[in-house]
Amino acid sequence: MNNRSTPPKIEYVDVDGVMLRVAIRGGRGGTPLLLFNGIGANLELVFPFIEALHGREVIVFDMPGIGRSPMSWFPRRFSGIARLTSHLLDRLGYQSVDVAGVSWGGAVAQQFARQLPDRCRRLILAATSAGAVMVPGRPSALMKMTTPRRYLSPQFMHRAAGTIYGGEVRERPELVTAHTARVIPPHFMGYVYQLVAGVGWTSVHWLHKLKQPTLIMAGSDDPLVPPVNARLLSLLIPDNRLVIIPGGGHLFMLHCLDQVIPVIHDFLGAASAERALRTAVTLKA
């Protein structure tokens, strides 16, 4: 079966009393990849990335109050989101996963890797930072991120996309059109809960304790999370590889697939190659 054209299967899973909307795209073996999306972003927004990452099983879900996951009764900090995710993996029958996080989801991914190290084999951090201890983005971009307006109004998204995301969308409005066509507006309080989850949070004091091999990626033209933040993560995480996408904006994981996918395939497949090499050496011995 060609996984490039196989759509993800979407289902609802009751986790701690919250009905989470989950998408799973099957693969051809190997460790599944769990993906944490950006703030306010429904799971359909990463479908282009999932489709391009053919051959690997991918799991993504709508946070409570985002996409079509209903609101939960109370907000969660990143530690609570990591715990909720662990319980989701239990319900789905997964023990160990590779974890990728984009932007806001990159902070959740860091927390998950730190809090549940036995469940995270490898870590991918894209367009993200160490939280409160970071070099901030451009004020014009950050101001437009404080509300979910870009998800509610396609007209506003078209006007503001270049300022918010930078990179490819500055010159290619068709990318914005395709992006907005996949948007499911978040519940206002769901968006607020996501903002609250990260208030005051930082990983800067424990990144040196991360045990997972980590791939850090950033776009060179990201107005929201300047690439210097990726360099800071690279200085603090012991076992990492840093990749800066030339000209890439905040959405480079969606718009620079020809540069991103080979790097990710190589990174996630490295452990399998190492195991195969060790097996071959053992057999020769």
φ/ψ of 200, rounded to 5, equals 80, -5
Sequence-separated contacts (24+) of 88-91 with Cβ below 8 Å: 88/13, 88/15, 88/20, 88/22, 88/61, 89/34, 89/119, 91/13, 91/14, 91/15
The CATH number for 220's domain is: 3.40.50.1820
pLDDT at 147: 86
pLDDT at 6: 79
Full residue range of the structural domain in which residue 243 is found? 3-284
pLDDT at 5: 55
- The residue to which tokens 């097996």 are assigned: 279
Give how many domains the chain has, as a whole number: 1
pLDDT along the chain (285 residues), means of 10: 68 96 92 97 97 94 97 94 98 97 98 98 98 92 89 93 94 93 96 95 98 98 97 98 97 97 92 38 33
The catalytic residues are: 103
